[in-house]
Structure 1
Amino acid sequence: MIALSIAGFDPSGGAGILADVKTFQALGVYPTAVITALTAQNVKQVESVESVNPDFVAKQIDLILAEEDINYAKTGMLYSAEMVEMVASKVKEYNLKLVVDPVLVAGSGGVLSQDNLVETLKKHLLPVAELTTPNIHEAEALTGLEIKDEDDACKAACELGKLCPTVVTGGHLNGRDIFYQSSLNEKSLGFIDGEILKSNNTHGSGCTYSAAVTAYLVKGLSLVESLKQASYFTKKAIENGSHGTLNQIWRLNQP
């Protein structure tokens, strides 16, 4: 079992590509990783971002997929519209099943994207994705809707669900995730129960969650069951974390 992460590098180890790799490994999935950007940051602040040339990122993807049989990938920080368009083209070229974590702003408040990223994500990447996993701030940016409560989050999930299945994570509301998917014959809106944890160890929680969803999909779980298991895994990672970040090495004996 193998998965691909296409994301930025967080030198603190709590988020980004390192969080994805640790999550994949903790769940028994072999990680491959393509770095889209370098950051100077820690758990409290982002000082600067240096984007990798999209052509070089494309070479990384091509060389990995030339040798590895990979069906599932996830994205994290892509930073630029050019990078998003390139990744979308590779998803279609290799028929990848993609989980999109629409990283726009770090939990510490640092900007992790250029101004034109939102529209490019909506136009090029979300329509080729199997799932997107925004928190409420990312969902607001992607939809233009203000989210103050679960009803607002449901509206945002339904709006984004026109592009691809969407889970609006509940860490900034009451802990429940809101999932919406639409097909030709059915539209479904549901809740995945959770809780708000009183912890400072949340740096990288969005990366861990989306990586865990990807890992469970690789292992053959359904989308809904993958969301449930990823929510539980992320909760346990937060509970076992320290120094302001999660512990994705926490191991889970699950199918």
Structure 2
Amino acid sequence: MMAMTIGGYDPSGGAGILNDIKTFHALGVYGTAVITVLTAQNSRRVEDIEPVSTNFIQKQIETVLEDIPIKFAKTGMLYSSENVRVVSEKIVEHDLNLVVDPVMVAGCGSLLSVEGYTESVKKYLLPNAVLATPNINEAEMLSGIKIDCVDDAVAAAFEIGKICDVIVTGGHLNGENVFFNGTIKIINDELIESVNTHGTGCSYSAAITAGLAQDIDLLQSIKMAGEFVKESVINGEWGTLNQFHNPISK
């Protein structure tokens, strides 16, 4: 069981591809990673961003897929429209099943994308995705709908769902995640008060990808990911990696 993450490098290890790889590993999936952006950041702030060239992103993807038969991938921070387009082309070329975490703004408020990024994600990336996992801020940007309550999130999910299946994550909706795959389903996750929240969106989308890579259906993968993130927040990263028992295997 293998998967690929395509996204940004967070040297603190709390988010981005380092987080994704740890999540894959904790859930029994061999992870590969393609770096699109280098960042200087920690759990509190983003100091600087250095994009990787599109040519080098292509080389990373091609070289990995040359000898590792990956069918499931996720994207995180792609940063620019150019990166979105080249990644989308490779997703189609290699027929990858894609989960999109449309990273646009850091939890600390720092911008993680440039002008035109949102439209590029909608035009090039989402049409080739099996699922998008926006938080409410990202869902607002993708749908054009202001989200103040669950009903607003439902409306946003309907709008984004015209392009691909979507789950609007409920970290700011009292734990109520809005899943749309032709019909609306509200999935309730318990909210935990903790400082261990840096990178939870990355963990969530990576855990869903890991479930799909293990031939688990989408809804069950979503539920497993919610449980995994809850355990991550309760125990902190190392506690989760050492103690989490994969519900998939039960």
Question: Where on the TM-score scale, by shorter chain, does this alignment land: which range?
Answer: over 0.9
Q: Is the 8 A contact 2:7 2:76 kept in 1?
A: yes
Q: Which stretch shows the higher mean deviation, 245-254 or 80-89? A: 245-254
Supply the distance in 2 between the matched residues of 1:246 and 1:119 (Cα, whole angstroms).
Answer: 38
SS at match of 1:99: strand
1:27 alignment partner in structure 2: 27
1:209 alignment partner in structure 2: 204
Supply the distance in 1 between the matched residues of 2:242 and 2:24 (Cα, whole angstroms).
Answer: 9
Deviations 1:141-192 (A, max 9, x none): 11111000000000001100000000000001110111001xxxxx211011
Shift of 1:251: 2.9
2:163 alignment partner in structure 1: 163
Letter in 1 for 2:33: A
Deviations 1:5-44 (A, max 9, x none): 0010001100000000000000000010000000011100
Pair 41,246 (structure 1): closer, same or farther in 2 beyond 3 Å: farther
TM-score normalised according to structure 1 size: 0.95
Shift of 1:250: 4.5
Deviations 1:181-211 (A, max 9, x none): 1xxxxx2110111122111110000000000
1:184 alignment partner in structure 2: none
1:221 alignment partner in structure 2: 216
2:226 alignment partner in structure 1: 231
Is 1:177 matched up with 2:177?
A: yes
Supply the distance in 2 between the matched residues of 1:180 and 1:27 (Cα, whole angstroms).
Answer: 25
Supply the distance in 1 between the matched residues of 2:152 and 2:244 (Cα, whole angstroms).
Answer: 35
Is 1:110 matched up with 2:110?
A: yes
Task: Write out aligned runs for 1:84-103 (5 A).
Answer: 84-103=84-103
Supply the distance in 2 between the matched residues of 1:78 and 1:144 (Cα, whole angstroms).
Answer: 21
TM-score normalised according to structure 2 size: 0.96
Structure 2: gaps (5+ residues): none
1:125 alignment partner in structure 2: 125
Supply the distance in 2 between the matched residues of 1:43 and 1:2 (Cα, whole angstroms).
Answer: 28
Deviations 1:82-134 (A, max 9, x none): 00000000010000000000000111111110111000000000000000000
Is 1:188 matched up with 2:183?
A: yes
Is 1:66 matched up with 2:66?
A: yes
Letter in 1 for 2:186: F
Letter in 2 for 1:8: G
Q: Is the 8 A contact 2:231 2:244 kept in 1?
A: no
SS at match of 1:74: strand
SS at match of 1:241: helix
1:198 alignment partner in structure 2: 193
Supply the distance in 2 between the matched residues of 1:215 and 1:26 (Cα, whole angstroms).
Answer: 10
Letter in 2 for 1:29: V
Pair 116,247 (structure 1): closer, same or farther in 2 beyond 3 Å: farther
Shift of 1:249: 5.3
Supply the distance in 1 between the matched residues of 2:148 and 2:242 (Cα, whole angstroms).
Answer: 33
Q: Which aligned runs of 4 or more in structure 1 are off by greater than 3 angstroms?
A: 245-250
Q: Is the 8 A contact 1:26 1:250 kept in 2?
A: no
Is 1:141 matched up with 2:136?
A: no
Is 1:252 matched up with 2:245?
A: yes
Structure 1: gaps (5+ residues): 182-186
Supply the distance in 2 between the matched residues of 1:80 and 1:40 (Cα, whole angstroms).
Answer: 17
Letter in 2 for 1:251: F
Letter in 1 for 2:166: T
Supply the distance in 2 between the matched residues of 1:125 and 1:135 (Cα, whole angstroms).
Answer: 17
2:4 alignment partner in structure 1: 4
Paired residues in the alignment total 248
SS at match of 2:155: helix
SS at match of 1:103: coil
Is 1:47 matched up with 2:47?
A: yes
